[in-house]
Structure 1
Amino acid sequence: MPVETTTEVGELSRVQDETGDRVPPANANRQAKIAATLGNRDGLTAGLVQPNDDTAVTLPAHSVPDGQEVLVQGAATNDGLVFVGDTEGQPVALRAAQGLRIPVTNTDQIAIRCPTADDKAAFILAGGDA
């Protein structure tokens, strides 16, 4: 069965979405926004935070690009747990080398505390404003 490979496509007025509905195609601005959200980022933003005396501290402030998450991990050398949450409470416990991905718009929305002396938490995200 022959396949036509030289057909030209004119302007699209409607396309079918995932539910079968006919919708307008994405325009150049929408496509650029999607590419920026889903595309690769330049560089990494990373840090190591060591709170004192089981006091909760927020991570240093770095904007998180759309579509990205922050990975928070208990440092591999920790003897105790790292507790993760926000400034109101840190209910999630992480062991050494255990991580948690958190979708936020800024890293300073995440608070950690470490009851064991010298324990720390690491964080990393793609892109950011570092």
Structure 2
Amino acid sequence: MLGLAKILADKVQTSQECGLLSHRLSPWRYVPPRERLIDPIGEAEVFLAYGKRREAFQVLSHTLRCEPDNLEAKMLLLQTLAYLRDIPGYCKLARELAPQLSGQPSWHTICTAGQELAPYEPLFMYQA
């Protein structure tokens, strides 16, 4: 049975390489939300609501490659990184957002999550 699955997978891959299958039929090709006329933030929020954190991460990462100034996507990506417990990723993105958000209520939320993830990180220490 496993051999049959491998043969079918090889045929599909060969067909894709030859252009015999449309990219719309291929379940392995990532199609960005904007190409599907879907709001990427909304799609990522739905993924997070269903516990699909990797999928949300993929959508948000792609969105930020295309729209590097999208603050809403960055904030949701930060939340996703916290869910994934990606401490280096969370700290890096938080450092990037610190100058823009410092002193705002959202920064307090970022620091609270950051202290739980990386209590040793001075970036998340509160100012007295």
Please say whether Structure 1 and Structure 2 have the same fold, judged by a TM-score greater than 0.5: no
Structure with a larger share of its residues in strand: 1
Structure number with larger C-alpha Rg:
1
Where relative contact order (Cα < 8 A, 6+ residues apart) is larger, the structure is 1
The two structures have a TM-score, normalised by structure 1, of 0.19
